[in-house]
Structure 1
Amino acid sequence: MVPLVWQKDRRMDLATIVIVDAVLREGGIRRAAKLSGRAPSSVSAAIKRFEQAISMSLFRREETALVLTLEARARATEIREATTKIAAIMEAAGKEAIDPTPPIGLVALDRFVRIARSGSIRATAKALGLGQPQLTRQMADLERHLGSRLFERSHGGVLGTATAERIIPLVEALLDIWARLTHASADRFRRDAATWRLGAVMPLGPESEIARMLAALTANWQRTRPRQPLYISSTTADELLAGLRSRRFDAALLDVAEIPLDCDGRLVSQMPLALAGPASVLSAFAGDLPRLLAACPIAVPSVRSGLRRETARFLDDTLDETERRRIALVEVDSIPVIINLVAQHGYLSVLPESSLARMHRPPAMIQLGPAYRQSLTLVWPRGAFAGEIGELMISMMKASAPT
């Protein structure tokens, strides 16, 4: 049976599939454009058409580079198989390998197979709800693109030529591959449509307040809303904001007090910060913060994090310009690594006091006072979903996990 080609596939054509496969293989738009002899803008447009057809992104941008998404990696083999079938179709039609792939639509190929199987353009047009002249013109365009005659008229309708007989199984295989690609994306779309996606800043560890809150939210959500899955992903503050704008996340837990202008939200909690480090160093310089901060390297998280901003504010308030030149900042975009540097390698770092206190062997620390806090704020795109859901998430974060 010929796989059904749906409405969203009407703009998909062989040339687009071949271009996308080239981008996946070459790892970039410009390299694929050069290989195919097309303008980069044309290749970019092909990628957009393909992504719209399968309802998923193939690439994500990291600074100036394009990186394959996990979905693209998972489907690269099937896209390659589709390109192989397209090449076989072109060869069976007598096209040279160096000839550019024509923009033959999958819809046209689907209708070609249906006509060949039924032996009648009129009957196929009626079954599809089309006019016979329209379908006849479409088959003429297909023959022109392939450079081969596909049908011969007979007394009872039409008969497929030898070329048609050669390419029919190849076309059916191609349509089957496409059906698998779009079926997978449809399943994913249905799952995504039923799933709430929460982005969150990275917890300091299993003992941290963020980890406790997210675990409580997960357990309470599963208990009260089992038919509506909750997906939680941890990343940096900048990535969380980008995810909100692209609707990759429905809500985000940020480690800043400010609510972005294009979002709604509410402050969830504020945790006092402490300067953690070797007990011997902290006791030796406890009354002299500038000397203490210059005595050991200071591990700091990424500049994209709210914790780094609070650390920078503390250093600016504590040190003058000369003293700042004496300190050594070591940027590490991993809180567990920072904690290990503090616990095992004699580093200093500004971290949430409550998270440090819950550690099995907490490091020595100096409380920084109420002026320096890690704020956690739940935000969501303005108008994207009711504020009640945000309030529900917050209440679940603060509640104890069910027993």
Structure 2
Amino acid sequence: MSYVLMDRAKMDTSTLLIAHNVLRQRSIRGTARLLGKPVSSIAAAIDRLEAQISVPLVHKAGTGIVLTLEAERLSPSISQLADHIQDVMAIGNRTRSDLSLSLSALSRFVHVSEAGSIRRAAKQLGLGQPQLARQIAHVETTLGCRLLNRHVDGAKMTEAGKRLVRSTRAIEAIWNELAHEAAGRSRRSAATIRLGSIIPMGHDSFVATLLASLVSTWVDNKPRQPLLVASTTTEGLIAGLKSGTYDAVFLNSVSVPTDFDGFLVANSPLSLVGQSSAMGFLHGPDDLAKIALNSLVALPSPKSGLRQIINRLLAEILTEDELRTLRVIEVDSMPVILNLVLRHGAVSVLPSESVTSIGGDLSQISLPSEYNLPYWLVCGRNDGSRQTALAVLHVLKGLGYAQHAK
């Protein structure tokens, strides 16, 4: 019998019933109304289960929640647990959801049934006999029925006790499977390096090419230490590094925030890009202002490092009055910006090497080198984050990247 996993899990029947109802109702508030409990109690139950199985089950969406894909996958197992728990409560005709028994208490009761006495079970479990006797008595009191008939030679299961053993074994089988999966997730999570990155423009962009080379080489060099790469905006990367969501981040920005250490990976030249019809016969740096003023300008939002450089460029080539007359579309999606340039006559400032591979009827004006876009590998000022950055930096240097530290 695998009572060890059950004993380690700090889980109870009430929490599992609440979680089952949240997944079924797809609502924390709806479950609170259904069960007559505070919303905070329902949310706390979900937090407890998520912690035990090492996987998020719900995400906040406005005032409601959305189930994760893992929640959808695990819902049948949690539903089966709820059914067996209802069977347990029905043994003593107790159906109230606020009645709660720890899974470890149920597991120990099964151990008593197998050992044939509380004394022998206590010795096998390494517990004091009075402590185990009190726990069994608590289970009987909670269910409102006798489970054991004690006698001089040991203890004999009542019919209610036999029913409890059958239901508990079914609960154990499901819970231990969940616990086994959780242990694997915890080990993988502990070993995984989490690298945040700016969002690549496309599959053949500089960022996508660098990250693909990094991940491929990493798998060969460090097969037991997975590298997880997630993409978001520069602002999101900095917030994730501060919160510990990422161990290190790969971003483009004019400079590295003073709270962090940074390693310069590359400097990317930039170009003003547009269809030949939008650019006309204007092809030099002195024509940038004319093109910008006579075109729809598609830009990423100020959350991005690229926008920081574009703002500096515009401030230097345009007057304040001219800046106010610009027709600007802000889009935090490089594929959308590219579509605006390719199909809707907009102009934008993009990394030069990315434009070269796009093709189509495009013209570009290279910007002076002082407008180059720096790419940084950034880490926190602690040993763990810095060691992660140095490990990534070592691979990047082998690939021909990484120039110098901040």
TM-score > 0.5, shorter chain as reference: yes
Which residue in the other structure is 1:343 paired with?
A: 342
Report the Cα offset of residue 61 of structure 1. 4.7
Q: 1:43 and 1:165, CA in 2 relative to 1: closer, same or farther beyond 3 A? A: same
Q: In structure 1, give the amino acid aligned to 2:49.
A: F
- Tell me, in whole angstroms, the C-alpha distance in 2 between the residues paired with 1:95 and 1:199: 50
Which of 167, 179, 194 pairs up with 1:170? 167
Q: Is the 8 A contact 1:3 1:176 kept in 2?
A: no
Q: In structure 2, give the amino acid aligned to 1:397.
A: L
Which residue in the other structure is 1:107 paired with?
A: 104
Q: 1:381 and 1:145, CA in 2 relative to 1: closer, same or farther beyond 3 A? A: farther
Which residue in the other structure is 1:196 paired with?
A: 193
- Tell me, in whole angstroms, the C-alpha distance in 2 between the residues paired with 1:65 and 1:313: 41
Q: Is the 8 A contact 2:206 2:353 kept in 1?
A: yes
Q: In structure 2, give the amino acid aligned to 1:54.
A: I
Which residue in the other structure is 2:89 paired with?
A: 90
- Tell me, in whole angstroms, the C-alpha distance in 1 between the residues paired with 2:291 and 2:86: 69
Residue 359 (str. 1) matches residue 352 (str. 2) = no
Q: 1:28 and 1:382, CA in 2 relative to 1: closer, same or farther beyond 3 A? A: farther
Report the Cα offset of residue 369 of structure 1. 2.0
- Tell me, in whole angstroms, the C-alpha distance in 1 between the residues paired with 2:313 and 2:145: 75
Report the Cα offset of residue 344 of structure 1. 2.5
Q: Is the 8 A contact 1:290 1:323 kept in 2?
A: no
- Tell me, in whole angstroms, the C-alpha distance in 2 between the residues paired with 1:133 and 1:49: 29
Uncovered stretches (5+) of structure 2, i.e. residues with no partner: 401-406
Q: 1:62 and 1:316, CA in 2 relative to 1: closer, same or farther beyond 3 A? A: farther
Q: Is the 8 A contact 1:202 1:235 kept in 2?
A: yes
Q: 1:169-198: CA deviations, max 9, x gaps? A: 221111221111111111111122222221
Which residue in the other structure is 2:37 paired with?
A: 38
Residue 241 (str. 1) matches residue 238 (str. 2) = yes
Which of 205, 208, 222 pairs up with 2:202? 205
- Tell me, in whole angstroms, the C-alpha distance in 1 between the residues paired with 2:274 and 2:363: 6
Q: In structure 1, give the amino acid aligned to 2:179.
A: T
Q: In structure 2, give the amino acid aligned to 1:114.
A: H
Q: 1:7 and 1:311, CA in 2 relative to 1: closer, same or farther beyond 3 A? A: farther
Please tell me the root mean square deviation across aligned C-alpha atoms, in Å.
2.6
Q: 1:329 and 1:225, CA in 2 relative to 1: closer, same or farther beyond 3 A? A: same
- Tell me, in whole angstroms, the C-alpha distance in 1 between the residues paired with 2:75 and 2:398: 44
* Larger deviation, residues 229-238 vs 209-218: 229-238
Q: TM-score, normalised by structure 2?
A: 0.88
Q: 1:392 and 1:160, CA in 2 relative to 1: closer, same or farther beyond 3 A? A: closer
Report the Cα offset of residue 126 of structure 1. 0.6
Report the Cα offset of residue 13 of structure 1. 0.8
Q: 1:300 and 1:333, CA in 2 relative to 1: closer, same or farther beyond 3 A? A: same
Q: 1:77 and 1:324, CA in 2 relative to 1: closer, same or farther beyond 3 A? A: farther
Which residue in the other structure is 2:17 paired with?
A: 18
- Tell me, in whole angstroms, the C-alpha distance in 2 between the residues paired with 1:65 and 1:321: 44
Q: 1:243 and 1:22, CA in 2 relative to 1: closer, same or farther beyond 3 A? A: farther
Q: In structure 2, give the amino acid aligned to 1:300.
A: L
Q: Is the 8 A contact 2:379 2:385 kept in 1?
A: no
Residue 5 (str. 1) matches residue 2 (str. 2) = no
Q: Is the 8 A contact 2:247 2:385 kept in 1?
A: no
Q: In structure 1, give the amino acid aligned to 2:331.
A: V
SS at match of 2:325: coil
Residue 376 (str. 1) matches residue 375 (str. 2) = yes
Task: Map residues 220-369 of structure 1 onto 2, 5 A cutoff.
Answer: 220-284=217-281, 288-361=287-360, 363-369=362-368
Residue 214 (str. 1) matches residue 211 (str. 2) = yes
Q: Is the 8 A contact 2:268 2:374 kept in 1?
A: yes
Q: 1:340-397: CA deviations, max 9, x gaps? A: 2212322212111122123344721122323433221112232142645423423433
Which residue in the other structure is 2:74 paired with?
A: 75
Q: In structure 2, give the amino acid aligned to 1:136.
A: A
- Tell me, in whole angstroms, the C-alpha distance in 1 between the residues paired with 2:380 and 2:58: 23
Report the Cα offset of residue 295 of structure 1. 3.2
- Tell me, in whole angstroms, the C-alpha distance in 1 between the residues paired with 2:38 and 2:264: 48
SS at match of 1:137: helix
Q: TM-score, normalised by structure 1?
A: 0.88
Q: In structure 2, give the amino acid aligned to 1:364.
A: S
Aligned residue pairs: how many?
398
Q: Is the 8 A contact 1:198 1:252 kept in 2?
A: yes
- Tell me, in whole angstroms, the C-alpha distance in 1 between the residues paired with 2:133 and 2:56: 36
Among the aligned pairs, what percent are the same residue?
39
Q: Is the 8 A contact 1:201 1:234 kept in 2?
A: yes
Report the Cα offset of residue 289 of structure 1. 4.0
Residue 153 (str. 1) matches residue 150 (str. 2) = yes
Q: In structure 1, give the amino acid aligned to 2:130.
A: P
Uncovered stretches (5+) of structure 1, i.e. residues with no partner: none
SS at match of 2:369: coil
Q: 1:364 and 1:41, CA in 2 relative to 1: closer, same or farther beyond 3 A? A: same
Q: 1:80-101: CA deviations, max 9, x gaps? A: 22222212222233124xx223
Residue 119 (str. 1) matches residue 137 (str. 2) = no
SS at match of 1:385: helix
- Tell me, in whole angstroms, the C-alpha distance in 2 between the residues paired with 1:168 and 1:346: 73
Report the Cα offset of residue 2 of structure 1. 4.5
Q: In structure 1, give the amino acid aligned to 2:44.
A: A
SS at match of 1:276: strand
- Tell me, in whole angstroms, the C-alpha distance in 1 between the residues paired with 2:389 and 2:370: 27
SS at match of 2:268: strand
